[in-house]
Amino acid sequence: MADPASLQRILYVEDDPDIQAVARLALEAVGGFTVALCGSGREALETAEAFAPDLLILDVMMPELDGPATLQALRRRPALAGVPAIYMTAKTHPGDLARLRAQGAVDIITKPFDPMRLPDQIREIWNRL
């Protein structure tokens, strides 16, 4: 079980500005986390190492570099290779979810998510690690 207190810094990768705003508010104001928000996979690759996240949250469907491709690229960096990742997706078909887990996600949060519940969902996932 992971130490709940050790989860503070979240790198959140999401291309939709509306979802970014809601998630940032939920994670920072409600959850008390420090969040680095990236609008693309490329931005995540530029930001992640310097930010040193405890957790990665990646939107699955993004232009250019999608969530799985972004995670694959982040995993090639030694400083980020072991950082747990959660995917966020509107796809809820069991086959899609199984494929995402096989691509390295510790869990998946489906969209639309409940902003008031999001920090607790993330802590529950963290505590199972």
Whole-Å CA distances, 54 to 4, 10, 32, 97, 99: 11, 6, 14, 23, 23
Express each pLDDT in 23-50 by its tens digit: 999 999 999 999 999 999 999 999 999 9
Express each pLDDT in 53-101 by its tens digit: 999 999 999 999 999 999 999 999 999 999 999 999 988 788 888 888 8
CA-closest candidate to residue 26, choices 117, 110, 126: 117
pTM over cut 0.85: yes
- Per domain, the residue ranges of the chain are 8-128
The CATH architecture assigned to 8-128 reads 3-Layer(aba) Sandwich (3.40)
Partnered with residue 36 across adjacent β-strands are 11
Average pLDDT (97-117) is: 92
